[in-house]
Structure 1
Amino acid sequence: MRMISKLVIVFLMVSLFIVNIPQKVDASLGVSAASAVLIEQQSGRVLFEKDAHTKRRIASITKIMTAILAIESGKMNQKVKVSEKATRAEGSSVYLKPGEKIKLNDLVYGLMLRSGNDTAVAIAEYVGGSVDGFAFLMNQKAKEIGMYNTHFANPHGLDDHEDHYSTAYDMAILMRYAMKDKTFQKISGTKEYHAPNPTENWDREWKNKNRLLTKYKYCTGGKTGFTKRAKRTLVTTATKGDMSLIAVTLNGPDDWNDHISMYENGFKGFDMIEVVSKGKVDIGKNNDYENHLYVKEPILYPATSDETDLFSVKFKLSKPDKKWLSSKKNETIVGKAAVYLDGRVVEETPIYYENEPEKKKGFFHFFKEIFLAVIGVNANG
Structure 2
Amino acid sequence: MLNYYFLITNLKKIRRMGYLASISKPHFKPMWAWIATLICGISSAQAAPDEVLIPAPPSLSASSYLLVDPHSGKVIVEYQADQRLPPASLTKMMTSYLVEHELARGNLKLTDKVRISEKAWRAPGSRMFVREGTFVELNDLLKGIIIQSGNDASIAVAEHLAGSESSFADLMNQHANLLGMNDTHFVNSTGLPAENHYSSARDLSILAQHIILDYPEHYKVYSEKYFTYNDIRQANRNKLLWRDSSVDGLKTGHTEEAGFGLVASAKKGDMRLISVVMGTKSEEARAQESQKLLTYGFRYFDTRQLYQKYEVLNENRVWGGATEQVKLGLGEHLYVTIPRGQEENLSASLSISEVIKAPIQPGDELGKVIISLNDEVITEKPLIALNAVEEGGFVKKVWDNLVLFFLGIVSS
Say whether the fold is shared (TM-score over 0.5).
yes
Q: What is the deviation of 1:258?
A: 1.0
Aligned to 1:90: 124
In structure 2, the partner of 1:267 is 298
CA gap 1:289/1:112 in 2 versus in 1, 3 angstroms: farther
Q: 2:339 aligns with which of 292, 304, 318?
A: 304
Task: Show CA shifts across 1:221-242 (max 9, x none).
Answer: 1101111111101101000111
The CA deviation string for residues 74-105 of structure 1, in whole angstroms up to 9 with x for no partner, is: 31421110001101111011111001101222
User: What does 1:233-244 correspond to in 2, within 5 Å?
Assistant: 233-244=261-272
User: Which amino acid in 2 is paired with 1:175?
Assistant: A
Q: How far apart are 1:183 and its partner, in Å?
A: 3.7
Q: Aligned AA for 1:301?
A: V
Q: Percent identity?
A: 31
User: Residue 76 of structure 1 contacts residue 103 of structure 1 at CA under 8 Å; is this kept in 2?
Assistant: no
Give the partner amino acid of 2:247.
C
Give, in whole Å, the separation in 2 of the partners of 1:320 and 1:41: 34
Corresponding residue number in structure 1 for 2:166: 132
Unaligned 5+ segments in structure 1 are: 1-24, 198-202, 356-381
**Given that residues 305 and 335 in structure 2 are in contact (C-alpha distance below 8 angstroms), is that contact kept between their aligned partners in structure 1?**
yes
The yes-or-no answer on 1:51 pairing with 2:80 is yes
1: CA distance, partners of 2:212 / 2:346: 30
Aligned CA distance change for structure 1 residues 226 and 336 (closer, same or farther; 3 Å): same
Asked if the contact 2:317–2:356 (Cα under 8 Å) also holds between the matched residues in 1, the reply is no
Measured in 1, the distance between the counterparts of 2:73 and 2:314 equals 28
Query: Which residue does 1:367 correspond to in 2?
Result: none
Instruction: Give the match's secondary structure for 2:85.
Output: coil
**Over residues 18-37 of structure 1, what are the superposed CA-to-partner deviations in whole Å (9 max), with x where a residue is unaligned?**
xxxxxxx9943121211110
Q: Letter of the aligned partner of 1:188 in structure 2?
A: Y
Task: Give the conservation status (yes or no) of the 8 Å contact 1:230–1:250.
Answer: yes
Contact 2:315 2:326 in 1 (8 A): no
Deviation string, structure 1 residues 329-349 (Cα, Å, up to 9, x no partner): 9x6656354334455463425
Q: Which deviates further from its counterpart, 341-350 or 269-278?
A: 341-350
Query: 1:212 is aligned with what amino acid?
Result: L
Mapping of residues 1-381 of structure 1, within 5 Å: 27-74=56-103, 75-77=108-110, 78-159=112-193, 161-180=194-213, 181-195=215-229, 197=230, 205-253=233-281, 254-276=285-307, 279-282=311-314, 292-295=327-330, 298-305=333-340, 308=343, 309=345, 311-316=347-352, 320=356, 333=364, 335=366, 337-341=368-372, 343-344=376-377, 346-348=379-381, 350-354=383-387
Q: Is the 8 A contact 1:110 1:206 kept in 2?
A: no
Q: Tell me, in whole angstroms, the C-alpha distance in 2 between the residues paired with 1:216 and 1:347.
A: 34
Distance in 2, matches of 1:171 and 1:89, equals 24
State the 1:291 CA deviation: 8.6
Matched to 2:82, the amino acid is H
Deviation at 1:42, TM superposition (A): 0.8
> For 1:30-65, what per-residue CA distance to the aligned partner results, in whole angstroms no more than 9, with x for missing partners?
212111100001122110011111111111011000
Check conservation: 1:280, 1:291, Cα contact below 8 A.
Answer: no
Q: 1:272 to 1:295 in 2, by over 3 A?
A: same
Q: 1:141 to 1:292 in 2, by over 3 A?
A: closer
Asked if 2 retains the 8 angstrom alpha-carbon contact of 1:27 and 1:48, the reply is no
8 Å CA contact 2:201, 2:276 repeated in 1: yes
Residues 105, 336 of structure 1: CA spacing in aligned structure 2 closer, same or farther, 3 A cutoff?
A: farther
SS of the residue 1:73 aligns to: helix
Provide the aligned length of Structure 1 versus Structure 2: 320
Structure 2 CA distance for partners of 1:210 and 1:347, relative to 1, 3 Å: farther
Q: Is the 8 A contact 2:318 2:355 kept in 1?
A: no
Task: Give 1:266 deviation, angstroms.
Answer: 0.5
Q: Is the 1:299–1:349 contact (alpha carbons within 8 Å) kept by the matching residues of 2?
A: no
Q: Tell me the amino acid that sits aligned with residue 35 of structure 1.
A: S
| Alpha-carbon RMSD | 2.8
Separation in structure 2 between the aligned mates of residue 302 and residue 150 of structure 1, nearest angstrom: 27
Contact 1:26 1:47 in 2 (8 A): no
Query: What's the offset of the Cα at 1:351?
Result: 3.5
Whether contact under 8 Å (2:356, 2:366) holds in the other structure is no
Matched residue type, 1:210: N
Instruction: Provide the secondary structure at the position in 2 that maps to 1:93.
Output: coil
Give the conservation status (yes or no) of the 8 Å contact 1:318–1:334: no
Q: Using the alignment, how far apart are the partners of 1:205 and 1:282 within structure 2?
A: 57
Q: Distance in 2 between matches of 1:318 and 1:139?
A: 43
Length-normalised TM-score, structure 1: 0.75
Which whole-Å CA distance do the structure 2 matches of 1:257 and 1:101 have between them? 39
- TM-score of the superposition, structure 2-length normalised? 0.70
Q: Residues 349 and 191 (structure 1 numbering): CA distance in 2 closer, same or farther, change over 3 Å?
A: farther
Query: Which amino acid in 2 is paired with 1:222?
Result: L
